[in-house]
Amino acid sequence: MKVGVFMIRDVTLVENNFISIFSDAVILYEAAVSAVDEELKSALVKSSILTVNYALEAAANSFVSSVELDDELKGKVDRYSTLEKFGYVVNYHTGKSLPSGAKIYQQVRNLITRRNQMVHPKVNAVGYQVRTTGGGGEPFMHTVIKKAPKKGASQNPKLLGDDPELYTVKDAQAALQAMTSFLNLYVEEWWGIGYENANLFLYQTWDGSIGAMPYMFRPHQIKVLIRNKELLDVRFIGIHGMISLE
């Protein structure tokens, strides 16, 4: 009869919620795609986009942990914006700056701007021209008269534009892809540490593994990322081979 091993050990767990937040953003996107009710779909889309932003902030804070900071400097870095944190880490380790003019950098900056507008909304007075119909026993209906688009201009709303109420699943998809593309470049080129080293910063880890990887996660978090591998193109962390998909 084979006897199992029993032991009591002291171990250290490095808590990190990035994978949890990232997978939640994808699950919210999937739910938005499946939703039939338009109000529910809109709410899920906006929630997914906000959660993508939370994942970006979690990634930035995770990478900041690669730098030893005294209390004074830590307080200063904690007040940095998300992109400033990413830039600080790259500059510390490589002496280089992030390419702020790069298209993907601008996309992420726009994504963060939209987050700020949703989380910290301002009260604005905006003038519109409206058409009012009704009366004579019928309810009044007020419709905004849209200006004719300029010649050659697209009539479709710009992805991740100014009005969150116009967001569709395409906007949620664009937010997810902007984040993964940004982090792919960050890990592979700008910082250049590769996904195996990035795993140590972005996964929850512990030092109690016996003959196994030190990463900790819930199986569904990896499954949802693999299920959407074509959409996400995740290269900044390892997701394959982490769990059995049977």
Residue 237 counted as domain residue: no
Three-class SS state of 137: coil
**Residue 107: which pLDDT band, with cuts at 50, 70 and 90?**
very high
Residue 56 counted as domain residue: yes
Q: Which residues pair with 132 in a beta bridge?
A: 142
What's the distance, CA 55 to chain centroid?
A: 4
- Which of the 8 DSSP states describes residue 190? I
Task: Quote the number of domains for the chain.
Answer: 1
Q: And the tokens for 37?
A: 């009710």
pLDDT tops 60 at residue 1: no
Residue 239 counted as domain residue: no
161-215: pLDDT as tens digits: 988 999 999 999 999 999 999 999 999 999 999 999 999 999 887 665 655 676 6
Percent of the chain with pLDDT over 70: 83
DSSP one-letter string for 90-115 = HHHHHS----TTSHHHHHHHHHHHHH
Residue 66 counted as domain residue: yes
113-142: pLDDT as tens digits: 999 999 887 777 878 888 888 777 788 888
Residue 65 counted as domain residue: yes
Domain, as residue range, for 61: 13-232
- Which of the 8 DSSP states describes residue 187? I
What is the pTM assigned to this prediction? 0.85
Residue 151 counted as domain residue: yes
- Which of the 8 DSSP states describes residue 147? P
pLDDT value, residue 23 = 97
